[in-house]
């Protein structure tokens, strides 16, 4: 689009040049759509005519001039003045005649000098200088003083240095040890070609495979229990091979050999896997919906295979046909699995068990696409309602990429039979923050939980994002748990919910969790009781008089009885807990066993008078009367800690048992059965009664005091115990990492039975289990996970957080030396904890700073006529804006972290938006906001300063972006100037190419109207492509690249221009275009991901358009405005107070919304920018001759039509 020059420049003393015929950078008169000058109000109508040329003569001389320039006057215009005579100026010596010229539509047409122009010879030189100074002098806040430049430089250097340290801390410090073992398999994939386009509309895009393990699975037909693997973002269908291979080996080599396994419904697993062509599902919500729809169709097909295959096997013919499959989802595959329940083609009851691995359940990892944010909101709401008594009603607008407004189901969808286990990798996962894997707010504890790999028994190792699928220690646990929940006798192919959850808790939880009284009480059923006389080869039964037993394996069988203290005396220590640790296996069929025994009289046997002090032997008749029950099922496995162990995943293990007083109720003895060891006396078993409150130290220290002085305990407990604990309620925030030092200077590890080891527990929520073991401790790193930002407080979570960090210490109680503990904050290790959790802040805050700078620049430009460069705008922001913004952010952050309860509201309630109007308006109308969504969603009052701190860091990021873009544009500008002025050979080559193509003559002969038509047609064609084939994100990237070219041409013209007024005008235009370029650059993260997905689809020959990314309105303002700026026009100055107010209101609204909700709803920043650019288009177009022509045309024709209608 071509517009006229801003005539406001001459109103305040701008230097307007005479019309000249030039060959360097000015337009010829015949190319200008508006070459007639408009005199300002300050000019008198009786001013002398310096040109001496009549209007008619001038029109005849230049027949290509547009008639619309004199069709009317604005509030700043009166009668047109006559143009001066044309002056012919020779070509500038700086521009050789043979050099190729920059496009002659870049520079606005020169306006003839008015009688009051400062360049008029009639105006005194002093007056001209004064008017020029009034135009170019900016307010003092825009002055780049040494102090301001130093502050900007200092902030930039500190910001970049801090970001570099945060990255280094994130990837190299406070990370779990890498210790996953490789898995080995013999894979074979059978593609199911029968699942074609007749069964799903995505058959040409995706594919379904059946995994077969060679040497075990001899048939290509599924005969076991169906399991569907869903890969994640850019994941491969082959990632299933580790779990599938381990499941096949475990089933055929072990479980299938057990007697009665077939009768119990035990069957092998048929692993189906989906090839999504490594699609980027985390970046695009539409792709996620397509995957969910395809998987629902795939499940229907998978279930249809079993009636035929099972009837072919006589042993399985009587089994019911499967009606459900087991789902394993990795990364975004877990989100797709939960999305399947909300799709229009979901068949209720076809999924009952889900295991997700490294899945971000609560927040999208890259919320740049508005649709993926909406999907997260809808599926989380659906799942929360699904476990209620009434079930979850399907959305009125189901998540369907093909039919978004068709009701899927009219009946409630209950999730009462669905269990979900979420496995998180921990600190090693640098792709998905493990905080978001918590399903406590989505699934009740009776149907699911979240566990970290560092706390899974026999795993105890962190896992990165892809390794969680092939980590052999974890893969074995997952495979065994899946096989144990299988029951082919059921139609759902799995056990009931309670039994499934029991299997999963036993497999994935450490066994050290708190057992609730009434739920885990040791029963005294007669069928469970055994007599010591029934235990073969028991020769000796010893009763120990003390409260502690330290025993080595004996060569002959014997039983050690520890009386359970009754604590009847008030002045004695209440021994309410029993603990036992051994390096020997414990169980009914092992060499050691632990029993709870009772006498017929329910009283301990009296001690004989002449018995030894330490222990005495119980007579055989009395021993035969004891009724005992084994408690080996309550024994937990913990990693071994010896002088040679360095990591908990070394392969050696200990056994640990802890019994509370209520669990021992009704019993008199704890019996330790030693069946005898013929191999020697290596090993130990330590058991003792102790007071749990005495062995637990609660340190009431504030977090600031912990930062300043640290924590040091010379003696952890008053007396040595096997198990002691340290609880620090103030330590519950996951943004802080610590260093823990454990010393026992009076005890030698070589002389002890085992080396001290520590277990850290983070009780952040009832169903989120994160624990870590540290063996052979001296100095260790302590870091953990916690509450996700932006999540509202749920009932009971505050009580869990108040428990803080729990550290459990195992130490040899035979050594009397105290256990010394020291802990301090690891500042450098803590830097990286916030980087991954607040990545979106580094995308939002630079955008806000750019908008602030642009607002300041527009304000100065409207006041002075000079557009300051981006650095001057930053100076203004640093001096005037940040002193107000930062305290405001701090105040809002403090209020957010201290307020209790959050009131939610909906935009639709205020604007009365109809949710059925369109998909986008529906999203806007139903979007609810709460106090938890504000700023960065911080919950801890100690970190009230975190939002202002991140904002200051992003100030340095914004400065870096500006410098980077400025350097790139300047370098390209220098290249353009070099080619135009100092590169004759290159210039001749380019000129000859232009001559061959006859492009130069075409551009010279092309009129302004034809040029406008060409641009309009090109824009309309691009609009048509956006509406039908290409996503609007592609058009945005094209507009960004075009704008870079426009900036290069503008800066090149500014460098080549020698005349002061025109040079100042070109630099003003470049400064403005550069600010627009920085703004567009900050919006690239919102468009590039979807563009990458689209290109990826093209590479797999999938050409179906995205239904959610073909909105012309989402790109039209950017395309139109970039095209307008390509024409070389500067934004007109706004003299109208109402327009200025509207501009400031729009920009302040964007800044306020982006500050409050930009980090949470990052995708909204693009649409806010879209609205602002629309306003710029209006401001730019209202001064152009095209807009005036359209207004005149519309006024004449509409007015005439109305007159005819009235008549």
Mind listing the pLDDT tens digit for each residue in 3-47?
433 433 433 333 333 333 333 333 333 333 333 333 344 433 434
Tens-place pLDDT, residues 748-793: 878 888 999 999 998 766 778 999 999 999 999 999 998 888 887 7
Of 263 and 455, which is predicted with more confidence? 455
Handedness of CA 17, 22, 24, 25 (dihedral sign): positive
Of 747, 750, 760, nearest to 819 by C-alpha is 747
Q: So what's the pLDDT on residue 626?
A: 84
Say if residue 925's pLDDT is above 90.
no
**Euclidean distance between the first and the last CA atom of the chain, given in angstroms as a whole number:** 38
Q: So what's the pLDDT on residue 3?
A: 40
Say if residue 517's pLDDT is above 80.
no
Q: So what's the pLDDT on residue 117?
A: 39
Burial of 308 (0-12, 13-18, 19+ CB in 10 A): exposed
Q: So what's the pLDDT on residue 1096?
A: 82
Mean pLDDT of the chain: 79
% the chain with pLDDT above 90: 41
Q: What is the mean pLDDT of residues 1056-1078?
A: 90
Comparing 556-560, 625-629, 1010-1014, which segment has the lowest mean pLDDT? 1010-1014
Residue-wise DSSP of 800-821: HHHH-EEEEEE--TTS-PPPEE
Comparing 212-221, 450-459, 537-546, 557-566, which segment has the lowest mean pLDDT? 537-546
Of 377, 408, 414, nearest to 395 by C-alpha is 408
Alpha-carbon span 938 to 944, nearest angstrom: 8
With cut-offs at 50, 70 and 90, classify the pLDDT of residue 79.
very low
Alpha-carbon span 366 to 314, nearest angstrom: 51
Q: What is the mean pLDDT of residues 784-807?
A: 78
% the chain with pLDDT above 70: 75
Comparing 524-533, 550-559, 781-790, 1056-1065, which segment has the lowest mean pLDDT? 524-533
Tens-place pLDDT, residues 594-648: 999 888 877 777 777 766 667 778 887 788 888 888 898 899 999 999 988 899 9
Tens-place pLDDT, residues 304-317: 999 888 776 777 77
Q: So what's the pLDDT on residue 797?
A: 63
With cut-offs at 50, 70 and 90, classify the pLDDT of residue 985.
low
Tens-place pLDDT, residues 432-475: 999 999 998 899 999 999 999 999 999 999 999 999 999 999 99
Q: What is the mean pLDDT of residues 652-667?
A: 90
Look-up of token digits 């162990």: 645
Give the best-scoring range by mean pLDDT among 290-304, 386-400, 663-677, 1015-1029.
Answer: 290-304
Say if residue 1186's pLDDT is above 50.
yes
Q: Is 882 in contact with 1104 (CB distance < 8 Å)?
A: no
Alpha-carbon span 1069 to 1172, nearest angstrom: 19
Consecutive H or E run containing 703: helix 703-709
Tens-place pLDDT, residues 1116-1171: 999 989 988 887 778 888 888 899 999 999 999 999 999 999 999 998 999 999 99
Label residues 430-452 b or e (16+ Cβ within 10 Å = b).
ebbbbbbbbbbbbbbeebbbbbb
Of 534 and 726, which is predicted with more confidence? 726
Say if residue 912's pLDDT is above 60.
no
Of 677 and 1139, which is predicted with more confidence? 1139
From start to end of 241-324, where are the E strands? 269-275
Alpha-carbon span 193 to 206, nearest angstrom: 11
1115: three-class secondary structure by DSSP: coil
Q: Is 1049 in contact with 976 (CB distance < 8 Å)?
A: yes
- What angle (nearest 5°) sits at the alpha carbon of residue 525, between those of residues 519 and 527? 135
Say if residue 249's pLDDT is above 70.
yes
Q: What is the mean pLDDT of residues 688-710?
A: 91
Q: So what's the pLDDT on residue 120?
A: 43
Say if residue 815's pLDDT is above 70.
yes
How far is residue 199 CA from its own chain's centroid? Answer: 34
Q: Looking at 340-468, list the stretches that DSSP marks H as alpha helix, in order from N- to C-terminal side.
A: 370-386
Of 607 and 942, which is predicted with more confidence? 942
Q: So what's the pLDDT on residue 1181?
A: 79
Q: Compute CA distances 593 → 179, 586, 655, 674, whole Å.
A: 32, 5, 11, 7
Q: Is 104 in contact with 1046 (CB distance < 8 Å)?
A: no
Q: Compute CA distances 269 → 135, 294, 507, 1182, whole Å.
A: 80, 22, 18, 69
Q: What is the mean pLDDT of residues 880-901?
A: 87
Q: Compute CA distances 507 → 445, 477, 495, whole Å.
A: 16, 7, 15
Say if residue 115's pLDDT is above 50.
no
Annotated catalytic residues are 331
Alpha-carbon span 622 to 608, nearest angstrom: 12
With cut-offs at 50, 70 and 90, classify the pLDDT of residue 1200.
low
Comparing 88-102, 130-144, 541-555, 568-582, which segment has the lowest mean pLDDT? 88-102
Q: So what's the pLDDT on residue 565?
A: 86
Q: Is 82 in contact with 55 (CB distance < 8 Å)?
A: yes
Say if residue 74's pLDDT is above 70.
no
Comparing 69-78, 143-152, 827-836, which segment has the lowest mean pLDDT? 69-78
Of 203, 276, 289, 192, nearest to 234 by C-alpha is 276
Residue 475's CB: how many other CB atoms inside 10 A? 24
Q: What is the mean pLDDT of residues 1110-1117?
A: 87
Beta bridge partners of 805: 728
With cut-offs at 50, 70 and 90, classify the pLDDT of residue 800.
low
Of 619, 828, 795, 772, nearest to 164 by C-alpha is 828
650: three-class secondary structure by DSSP: coil
Alpha-carbon span 770 to 456, nearest angstrom: 9
With cut-offs at 50, 70 and 90, classify the pLDDT of residue 556.
confident
């Amino acid at each position: 689009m071509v517009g006229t020059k801003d005539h406001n420049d001459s109103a305040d003393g701008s230097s307007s040049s005479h019309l000249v015929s030039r060959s360097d950078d000015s337009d010829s008169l015949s190319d200008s759509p508006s070459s007639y000058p408009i005199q300002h109000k300050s000019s008198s109508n009786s001013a002398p005519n310096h040109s001496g040329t009549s209007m008619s003569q001038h029109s005849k001389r230049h027949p290509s001039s547009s008639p619309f320039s004199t069709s009317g006057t604005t509030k700043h215009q009166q009668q047109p003045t006559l143009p001066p005579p044309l002056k012919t100026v020779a070509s500038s010596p700086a521009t050789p005649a043979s050099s190729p010229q920059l496009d002659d539509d870049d520079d606005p047409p020169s306006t003839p000098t008015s009688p009051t122009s400062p360049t008029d010879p009639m105006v005194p030189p002093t007056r001209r200088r004064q008017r020029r100074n009034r135009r170019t002098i900016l307010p003092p806040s825009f002055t780049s003083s040494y102090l301001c430049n130093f502050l900007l430089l200092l902030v930039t250097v500190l910001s970049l240095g801090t970001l570099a340290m945060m990255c280094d801390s994130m990837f190299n410090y406070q990370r779990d040890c890498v210790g996953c073992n490789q898995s080995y398999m013999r894979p074979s994939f059978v593609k199911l070609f029968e699942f074609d386009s007749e069964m799903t509309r995505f058959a040409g895009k995706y594919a379904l495979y059946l995994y077969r393990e060679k040497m075990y699975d001899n048939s290509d037909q599924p005969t076991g229990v169906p399991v569907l693997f869903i890969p994640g973002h850019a994941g491969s269908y082959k990632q299933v091979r580790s779990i599938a291979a381990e499941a096949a080996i475990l089933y055929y080599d072990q479980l299938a050999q057990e007697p009665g396994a077939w009768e119990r419904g035990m069957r092998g697993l048929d692993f189906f896997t989906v090839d999504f062509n490594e699609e980027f599902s985390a970046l695009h919500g539409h792709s996620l919906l397509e995957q969910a729809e395809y998987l629902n169709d795939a499940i229907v097909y998978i279930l249809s295979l079993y009636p035929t295959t099972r009837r072919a096997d006589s042993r399985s013919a009587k089994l019911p046909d499967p009606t459900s499959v087991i789902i394993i989802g990795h990364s975004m595959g877990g989100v797709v699995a939960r999305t399947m329940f909300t799709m229009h083609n979901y068949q209720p009851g076809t999924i009952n068990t889900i295991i997700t691995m490294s899945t971000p359940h609560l927040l999208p990892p890259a919320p740049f696409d508005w649709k993926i944010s909406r999907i997260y909101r809808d599926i989380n709401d659906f799942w929360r309602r699904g476990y209620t008594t009434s079930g979850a009603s399907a959305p009125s607008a189901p998540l369907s990429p093909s039919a978004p407004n068709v009701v899927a189901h009219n009946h409630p969808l209950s999730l009462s039979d669905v269990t979900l286990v979420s496995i998180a990798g921990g600190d090693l996962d640098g792709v998905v923050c493990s905080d978001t894997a918590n399903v406590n707010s989505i699934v009740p504890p009776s149907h699911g939980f979240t566990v970290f790999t560092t706390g899974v028994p026999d795993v105890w190792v962190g896992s990165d994002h892809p390794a969680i699928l092939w980590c052999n220690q974890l893969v074995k646990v997952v495979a065994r748990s899946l096989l144990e929940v299988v029951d082919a006798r059921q139609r759902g192919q799995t056990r009931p919910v309670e039994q499934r959850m029991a299997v999963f808790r036993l497999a994935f939880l450490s066994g050290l969790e708190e057992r609730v009284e009434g739920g885990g009480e040791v029963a005294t059923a007669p069928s469970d009781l055994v007599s010591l006389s029934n235990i073969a080869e028991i020769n000796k039964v010893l009763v120990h008089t003390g409260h502690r037993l330290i025993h080595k394996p004996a060569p002959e069988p014997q039983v050690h009885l520890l009386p359970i203290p009754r604590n009847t005396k008030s002045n004695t220590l209440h021994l309410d807990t029993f603990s036992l640790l051994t390096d020997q296996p414990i169980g009914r069929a092992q060499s050691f066993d632990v029993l709870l025994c009772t006498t017929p009289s329910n009283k301990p046997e009296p001690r004989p008078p002449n018995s030894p002090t330490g222990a005495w032997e119980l007579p055989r008749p009395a021993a035969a009367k004891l009724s005992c029950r084994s408690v080996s099922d309550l024994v937990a496995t913990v990693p071994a800690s010896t002088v040679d162990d360095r990591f908990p995943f070394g392969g050696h293990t200990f056994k640990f048992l802890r019994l509370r007083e209520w669990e021992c109720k009704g019993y008199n003895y704890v019996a330790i059965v030693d069946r005898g060891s013929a191999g020697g006396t290596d090993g130990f078993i330590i058991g003792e009664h102790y007071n749990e409150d005495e062995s637990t130290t609660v340190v009431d220290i504030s977090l600031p005091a912990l930062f300043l002085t640290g924590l040091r305990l010379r003696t952890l407990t008053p007396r040595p115990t096997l198990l002691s604990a340290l609880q620090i309620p103030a330590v519950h925030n996951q943004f802080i990492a610590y260093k823990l030092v454990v010393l026992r200077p009076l005890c030698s590890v070589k002389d002890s039975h085992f080396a001290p080891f520590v277990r850290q527990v983070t009780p952040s929520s009832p169903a989120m289990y994160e624990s870590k073991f540290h063996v052979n401790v001296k100095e260790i790193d302590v870091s953990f996970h916690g509450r996700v930002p932006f999540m509202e407080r749920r009932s009971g979570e505050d009580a869990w957080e108040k428990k803080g960090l729990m550290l459990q210490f195992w130490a040899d109680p035979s050594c009397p030396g105290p256990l010394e503990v020291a802990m301090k904050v690891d500042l450098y290790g803590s830097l990286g904890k916030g980087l991954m959790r607040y990545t979106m802040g580094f995308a939002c805050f630079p955008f806000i700073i750019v908008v602030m700078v642009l607002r300041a620049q527009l304000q100065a430009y409207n006041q002075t006529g000079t557009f300051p460069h981006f650095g001057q705008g930053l100076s203004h922001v640093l001096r005037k804006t940040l002193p107000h913004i930062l305290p405001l952010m701090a105040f809002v952050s403090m209020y957010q972290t201290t307020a209790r309860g959050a009131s939610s509201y909906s935009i639709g309630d205020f604007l009365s938006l109809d949710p059925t109007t369109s998909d986008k308006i529906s999203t806007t109308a139903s979007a609810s906001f709460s106090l938890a969504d504000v700023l960065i969603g911080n919950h801890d009052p100690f970190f009230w300063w975190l939002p202002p701190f991140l904002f200051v860091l992003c100030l340095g990021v914004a400065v870096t972006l500006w410098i980077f873009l400025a350097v790139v544009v300047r370098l390209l500008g220098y290249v353009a100037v070099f080619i135009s002025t100092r590169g004759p050979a290159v210039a001749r080559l380019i000129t000859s190419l232009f001559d061959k193509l006859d492009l130069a003559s075409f551009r010279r002969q092309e009129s302004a109207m034809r040029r406008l038509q060409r641009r309009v047609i090109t824009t309309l064609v691009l609009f048509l492509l956006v509406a039908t084939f290409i996503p609007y994100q592609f058009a945005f990237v094209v507009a960004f690249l075009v704008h870079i070219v426009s900036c290069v041409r503008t800066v090149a013209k500014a460098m080549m221009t020698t005349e002061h007024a025109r040079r100042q005008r070109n630099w003003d235009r470049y400064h403005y275009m550069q600010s627009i370029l920085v703004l567009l650059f900050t919006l690239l993260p919102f468009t590039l991901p979807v563009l990458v997905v689209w290109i990826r689809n093209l590479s797999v020959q999938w050409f179906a358009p995205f239904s959610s990314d073909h909105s012309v309105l989402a790109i039209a303002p950017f395309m139109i405005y970039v095209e307008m700026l390509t024409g070389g026009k500067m934004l007109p100055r706004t003299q109208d107070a109402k327009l200025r107010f509207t501009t400031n209101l729009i920009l302040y609204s964007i800044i306020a919304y982006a500050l409050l909700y930009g980090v949470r709803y990052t995708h909204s920043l693009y649409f806010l920018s879209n609205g602002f650019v629309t306003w710029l288009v209006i401001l730019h177009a209202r001064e152009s001759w095209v807009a005036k022509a359209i207004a005149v045309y519309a006024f004449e024709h509409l007015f005439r039509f109305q007159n005819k209608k009235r008549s």
